[in-house]
């Protein structure tokens, strides 16, 4: 499987997002009304818009922000694949996005077969990055100028889509997929639902970055499994600043 995919042409990525402000009451009045209107369609009648903001605003690009983007790229050292991982994290979302977009430009120019790779990046990570970049009036690199593309034309290798094998009714989490593939992953001290709280209450970007990097490593291991080659060992993974 993936015989036509060269791992060293891929830029693996994962993002961590939080509500744009610490609490619903910190939103401008017009944004409070717009949030209430947006979430009303999915809340039960007894639901509270303020409580829903803390729990769910981070998944909407209009009400959330990116606090970390972790990336990984393969190279070959001494006949073995090595995965190099780094993170861009900052309280200023524009700084995070600028750093990531600069890297995308470099990869696009360097690798003819360049593609993004990740889990559920087609439906979440990439659209979120593009929307937040437009909000900040940042220029999108060519690989992210994807409006009008047909699904098979997108420069993205999505492990969730690979696992679907054409079945679009199914969602499989990264944690479940690595488990059934026999891929051991480090124990997390947080999960995605806790990122907003860790950010706004603890301001612990390092902890969030560490969690994000684990997902990049998990995607890298999945790609090795899909290609039918030996998994990365601990010494094959290098974390860079």
Task: Give the 3-state secondary structure of 13-65.
Answer: EEEEEEECCCCHHHCCHHHHHHHHHHHHCCCCCCCCHHHHHHHHHHHCCCCEE
Report pLDDT for 154.
87
CA dist list (Å): 75 to 131, 156, 157, 178, 198: 31, 19, 18, 22, 33
**Is 68 contained in some domain?**
yes
Domains contained in the chain, number: 1
* 150 has a pLDDT exceeding 70: yes
Q: Which tens digit of pLDDT belongs to each residue from 93-121?
A: 999 999 999 999 999 999 989 999 999 99
pLDDT band at residue 176, thresholds of 50, 70 and 90? very high
- Are 214 and 188 in contact by the 8 Å Cβ rule? The answer is yes
Q: What angle do CA 17, 19, 21 make, to 5 degrees?
A: 130
Report pLDDT for 106.
95
At residue 1, the 3 state secondary structure works out as coil
* 27 has a pLDDT exceeding 60: yes
pLDDT band at residue 214, thresholds of 50, 70 and 90? very high
**Is 226 contained in some domain?**
yes
* 46 has a pLDDT exceeding 60: no
**Is 145 contained in some domain?**
yes
* pTM, full prediction: 0.94
Q: Which residues of 55-85 are buried (b: 16+ CB within 10 A; e: fewer)?
A: ebbbebbebbbbbbbbbbbbeeeeeebebbb
Q: Which tens digit of pLDDT belongs to each residue from 185-211?
A: 776 778 788 899 999 999 999 999 999
**Is 104 contained in some domain?**
yes
Q: Which CATH number covers residue 114?
A: 3.30.420.10
**Is 1 contained in some domain?**
no
In which domain, by residue range, is 107 found?
A: 7-20+63-239
**Is 53 contained in some domain?**
no
pLDDT, the chain, mean: 92
Q: What's the distance, CA 229 to chain centroid?
A: 24
Rounded to whole angstroms, how far apart are CA atoms 26 and 192? 22
pLDDT band at residue 20, thresholds of 50, 70 and 90? very high
What's the average model confidence in pLDDT over 138-158?
Answer: 89
**Is 175 contained in some domain?**
yes
pLDDT band at residue 167, thresholds of 50, 70 and 90? confident
**Is 223 contained in some domain?**
yes
Q: What angle do CA 214, 227, 217 make, to 5 degrees?
A: 5
């Amino acid at each position: 499987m993936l015989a036509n995919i060269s791992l060293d042409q891929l830029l693996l990525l994962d993002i961590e997002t939080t509500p744009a402000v610490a609490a619903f009451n910190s939103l401008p009045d017009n944004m409070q009304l717009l949030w209430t209107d947006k979430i009303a369609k999915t809340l039960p009648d007894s639901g509270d818009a303020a409580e829903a903001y803390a729990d769910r605003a981070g998944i909407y690009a209009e009400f959330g922000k990116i606090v970390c983007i972790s990336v990984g790229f393969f190279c070959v050292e001494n006949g073995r694949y090595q995965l190099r991982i780094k993170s861009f994290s900052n309280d200023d979302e524009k700084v995070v996005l600028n750093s990531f977009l600069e890297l995308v430009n470099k990869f696009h120019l360097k690798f003819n077969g360049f593609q993004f790779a990740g889990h559920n990046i087609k439906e979440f990570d990439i659209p979120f990055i593009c929307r937040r970049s437009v909000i900040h009036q940042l220029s999108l690199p060519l690989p992210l100028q994807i409006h009008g593309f047909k699904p098979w034309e997108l420069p993205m290798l999505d492990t969730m889509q690979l696992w679907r094998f054409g079945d679009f009714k199914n969602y499989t989490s990264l944690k479940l997929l690595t488990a059934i593939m026999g891929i051991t992953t480090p124990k997390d001290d947080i999960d995605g639902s806790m990122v907003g709280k860790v950010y706004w209450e603890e301001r612990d970007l390092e902890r969030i970055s560490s969690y994000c990097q684990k997902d990049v490593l998990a995607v890298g291991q999945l790609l090795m499994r899909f290609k039918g080659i030996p998994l990365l060992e601990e010494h094959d993974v290098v974390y860079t600043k």
